Amino acid sequence: MEPLAALLLVFGATTAIAQPFYVPSGSMEPTLQIGDAFVASKFPYGYSRYSLPYGAGPASQTRLMGRLPARGDVVVFRLPRNPQETLVKRVIGLPGDTVQMVGGHLMINGKVLPLIDAGTGLVEEADGRQVPVPRFTEILPNGVRHAIFKWRWDGMVDDTAPMKIPAGHLFMMGDNRDNSLDSRVPARFGGVGLVPVENLVGRAEIVVGSYDFLNARAVLGWLSSFRLSRLFYGVV
């Protein structure tokens, strides 16, 4: 019975407590880097079918012991147009909010969010190159401060129509604002669109390991590609 007990323990832990995830892209830089492995807690928002492996539970618009995320939470969720795909983004808009982009600046409920110049940071591109870009601290209406990368102000999603967030849905954005497919792009155009609360999986909590696999080309460089500074890095 010991293997069965161990299997049940692992199943219960990943369903009810926490689950590890891996970051394959740079849409959440600088908060999450390509190659980060992080743990998401499953209980902060309650439970839905997507709390179970493979989304095996019944569909429901309500969550067991459900609670809404706070603005600024970094969350794991299932992509509405393809629930087999798992994404991680930051919660920007809650039900009842109106979200809009104007000239590259984020507006919530008619107010432009403050941006504080925070110098520059390095974006890791798909070929492993490190590119310096402007870094800012954005202040959300609830006072949460978080870092973003932003280097242009006239992109395709830098000017959008106001979007009223309906009940039971959330507006998600990546911190790498010029390289994130998120709720700014409707699902019918291949974007994320608004995310039903049911699709939440958990809240990103802590990076437990990080490996710069894009630059680990030579055998001698494999060990140096471990980012020790990212160990036990809290996701905020």
| Number of separate domains in the chain | 1
Q: Is the pLDDT of residue 56 over 90?
A: no
Percent of the chain with pLDDT over 70: 87
Nearest CA among 33, 88, 87, 89 for reference residue 212: 33
Mean pLDDT for the stretch of residues 68-72 = 98
pLDDT at 215 (0 to 100): 76
**218 in a domain, yes or no?**
yes
Q: Which residues pair with 135 in a beta bridge?
A: 149
pLDDT at 59 (0 to 100): 76
Q: What is the 3-state secondary structure (H, E, C) of the chain?
A: CHHHHHHHHHHHHHHHCEEEEECCCCCCCCCCCCCEEEEEECCCCCECHHHCHHHCCCCCCCCECCCCCCCCCEEEEEECCEEEEEEEEEEEECCCCEEEEECCEEEECCEECCEEEEEEEEEECCCCCEEEEEEEEEECCCCCEEEEECCCCCCCCCCCCCEECCCCEEEEECCECCCCCCCCCCHHHCCCCCEEHHHEEEEEEEEEEEECHHHCCCHHHCHHHECHHHCCEECC
Tens of pLDDT, residue by residue over 25-46, are 999 999 999 999 999 999 999 9
**6 in a domain, yes or no?**
no
Mean pLDDT for the stretch of residues 65-90 = 96
Q: Is the pLDDT of residue 4 over 60?
A: no
Q: Which residues pair with 79 in a beta bridge?
A: 82
**185 in a domain, yes or no?**
yes
**2 in a domain, yes or no?**
no
CA 214 to chain centroid, in Å, comes to 21
Q: What are phi and psi of 77, to 5 degrees?
A: -150, 165
Domain harbouring 43, CATH code: 2.10.109.10
pLDDT at 184 (0 to 100): 98
**3 in a domain, yes or no?**
no
pLDDT at 169 (0 to 100): 98
**The residue type at 29:** E
**131 in a domain, yes or no?**
yes
pLDDT at 12 (0 to 100): 47
Residue ranges making up the domain that contains 18: 12-234
Options 27, 51, 180, 183, the catalytic residue: 27
27 assigned to active site: yes
Q: Is the pLDDT of residue 119 over 80?
A: yes
Q: Is the pLDDT of residue 7 over 60?
A: no
**The residue type at 190:** G
Nearest CA among 156, 162, 174 for reference residue 34: 174
Options 42, 89, 150, 183, the catalytic residue: 89
Q: Is the pLDDT of residue 132 over 90?
A: yes
pLDDT at 9 (0 to 100): 40
Q: What are phi and psi of 84, to 5 degrees?
A: -75, -15
- pLDDT band of residue 14 (cuts 50, 70, 90) is low
**104 in a domain, yes or no?**
yes
**34 in a domain, yes or no?**
yes
